Amino acid sequence: MNFYDERETRDPDQRERELMARLPAQIAHARANAPAFARLLADVDPAAVSSRAALAALPVTRKSELLELQKAARPFGGFAAVGWGAGCRRVFASPGPLYEPEGARADYYRLARALFAAGFRAGDLVHNTFSYHFTPAGSMMETAAHALGCTVFPAGTGQTEQQLAAIADLQPNAYVGTPSFLRILLEKADEFGVRPPFTKAFVSGEAFPPSMRDAFAARGIQAFQAYATADIGLIAYETEAREGLVVDEDVVVEIVRPGTGDPVAPGEVGEVVVTTFNPDYPLIRFGTGDLSALLPGASPCGRTNLRIKGWMGRADQTTKVKGMFVHPGQIAQVVKRHPEITRARLVVDNPDLNDRMTLMCEVAGGGSETLAAAITTSLRELTKLRGEVAFLPGGALANDGKVIDDMRTYA
């Protein structure tokens, strides 16, 4: 079978109906069992949240906010629906620290689907070089490999020569880890005159450019990547088509304008916001802080779910101008005040080392002095800073998700 399960090839309309039908119960569960969502969704009727439009009306909880929320209510900020004991098998700490629960379900992070798409099968010996210390990456990959019937060598990070010795003895055919560490292992193996037996690899945690993918392929290693986070688990994964990343079957992915919860048009770059159906950690409209965009059409591999382009940068473009923080959400508020603006970007530079803000606005018809004055006033009211306004024709701004572009230099 070329697919992990039959859900991957469902009719897209059927998938959408089934996902939306699952939303009300998850919203109700989050409200009833996670104190943070009891507060955030207090005025929400779960039964009414059965469409993407209704979901888009709910607040976004951004990963950048979680640290302070967790500090105020340890360990999980009130977002988890489990406590210590059978419902929480492990707890991990990502940099921050941010704490994440791991439940007892098999393949808790749902990464088996992505490993399967990368060619992993029962009977493989997987050399897992993700960390088993503090952070969940090692466990995320191990539980997925076990779900497929693979055996795992928990190599963890570092100790390159010892890892090569284990590889020589055990002859694993599959690698899991960052692409850069695979490159290090291969280069060190060359120094010792040995050839690692890897024929397949699953990589994540870093950029994976085509040049590196091709270099691995030249050594007989077919490597695939995925987009996953400690909070959500699998979000999207690469297939043999090599055209974007296919969204997982058990999440709802939205692409929103940075600093807002407003979905952008298909193809436009924005922040990845994810709703999960995990009962233990029921994150609703979780803003990852990552930029991506939806790709049109279905994957040539036969999977019919939505696709995203992959990681395209960070959405949190907050910057400080003349000692004052300026947030993407403030720029979005300016745009909402003036419907003539179709797209805007705040450019910050510093001629003569003096900070300057210019709001570049795409406006049909070229704008006017009256409109420029009104926008300037809104910018000052919302940011408490003076700024200039420049009008551009439609399509002049790059489709890269940037709302604030800090171009200051300090040479």
62 and 167, same domain (yes or no): yes
Retrieve residue 102's tokens.
């791991």
- For 33, phi then psi, to 5°, come to -125, -10
Q: What is the DSSP code string of 168-193?
A: HHH--SEEEE-HHHHHHHHHHHHHHT
151 and 198, same domain (yes or no): yes
260 and 380, same domain (yes or no): no
Contacts (Cβ under 8 Å, ≥6 apart) of 397: 343, 344, 345, 360, 362
296 and 341, same domain (yes or no): no
**Whole-angstrom Cα distance, residue 251 to residue 107?**
15
Specify whether the CB–CB gap between 383 and 343 falls below 8 A: no
Instruction: Evaluate whether residue 271 is within a structural domain.
Output: yes
283 and 348, same domain (yes or no): no
Which of 254, 279, 308 is the last residue in one of the domains? 308
- Residue 410 has a pLDDT of 67
162 and 215, same domain (yes or no): yes
Question: If pLDDT is split at 50, 70 and 90, which confidence band does 318 have?
Answer: confident
1-5, 128-132, 223-227, 269-273: lowest mean pLDDT where? 1-5
Q: Is 124 helix (H, G, I), strand (E, B) or coil?
A: coil
**Whole-angstrom Cα distance, residue 345 to residue 357?**
10
Question: If pLDDT is split at 50, 70 and 90, which confidence band does 207 have?
Answer: confident
Domain containing 399 equals 319-406
β partners of residue 271? 256, 291
Which of 265, 280, 308 is the last residue in one of the domains? 308
Reply yes or no on whether the pLDDT at 248 is more than 60: yes
Instruction: Evaluate whether residue 1 is within a structural domain.
Output: no
Instruction: Evaluate whether residue 411 is within a structural domain.
Output: no
**Whole-angstrom Cα distance, residue 57 to residue 102?**
29
Looking at residue 325, which CATH number applies to its domain?
A: 3.30.300.30
17 and 161, same domain (yes or no): yes
- Residue 185 has a pLDDT of 96
226 and 302, same domain (yes or no): yes
Higher-confidence residue: 322 or 361?
361
Q: What is the DSSP code string of 139-156?
A: HHHHHHHHHHT-EEEE--
Please give the average per-residue pLDDT across 73-97, as a whole number: 93
* pLDDT tens track for 159-189: 999 999 999 999 999 999 999 999 999 999 9
Give the number of other Cβ atoms within 10 Å of residue 187's Cβ: 10
Reply yes or no on whether the pLDDT at 411 is more than 60: no
Percent helix, strand, coil in the chain (nearest 5)? 30, 25, 45
- Residue 1 has a pLDDT of 61
Specify whether the CB–CB gap between 401 and 265 falls below 8 A: no
Reply yes or no on whether the pLDDT at 276 is more than 70: yes
22 and 159, same domain (yes or no): yes
Question: If pLDDT is split at 50, 70 and 90, which confidence band does 325 have?
Answer: confident
Instruction: Evaluate whether residue 211 is within a structural domain.
Output: yes
Reply yes or no on whether the pLDDT at 397 is more than 70: yes
298 and 339, same domain (yes or no): no
Please give the average per-residue pLDDT across 46-73, as a whole number: 95
Instruction: Evaluate whether residue 109 is within a structural domain.
Output: yes
Question: If pLDDT is split at 50, 70 and 90, which confidence band does 64 have?
Answer: confident
* pLDDT tens track for 140-157: 999 999 999 999 999 999
- Tally of domains in the chain: 2
Which of 261, 289, 308 is the last residue in one of the domains? 308
**Residue closest to 377 by CA, chosen among 390, 366, 365, 389:** 389
**Whole-angstrom Cα distance, residue 100 to residue 93?**
6
Looking at residue 92, which CATH number applies to its domain?
A: 3.40.50.12780
259 and 343, same domain (yes or no): no
Contacts (Cβ under 8 Å, ≥6 apart) of 154: 128, 132, 138, 142
The rounded percent of the chain whose pLDDT value lies above 90 is 82
Instruction: Evaluate whether residue 373 is within a structural domain.
Output: yes
Instruction: Evaluate whether residue 11 is within a structural domain.
Output: yes
Specify whether the CB–CB gap between 341 and 335 falls below 8 A: yes
- Residue 259 has a pLDDT of 85
Please give the average per-residue pLDDT across 272-295, as a whole number: 96
Retrieve residue 152's tokens.
């795992």
- Residue 186 has a pLDDT of 96
CA distance between the termini of the chain: 59
Retrieve residue 222's tokens.
């077919």
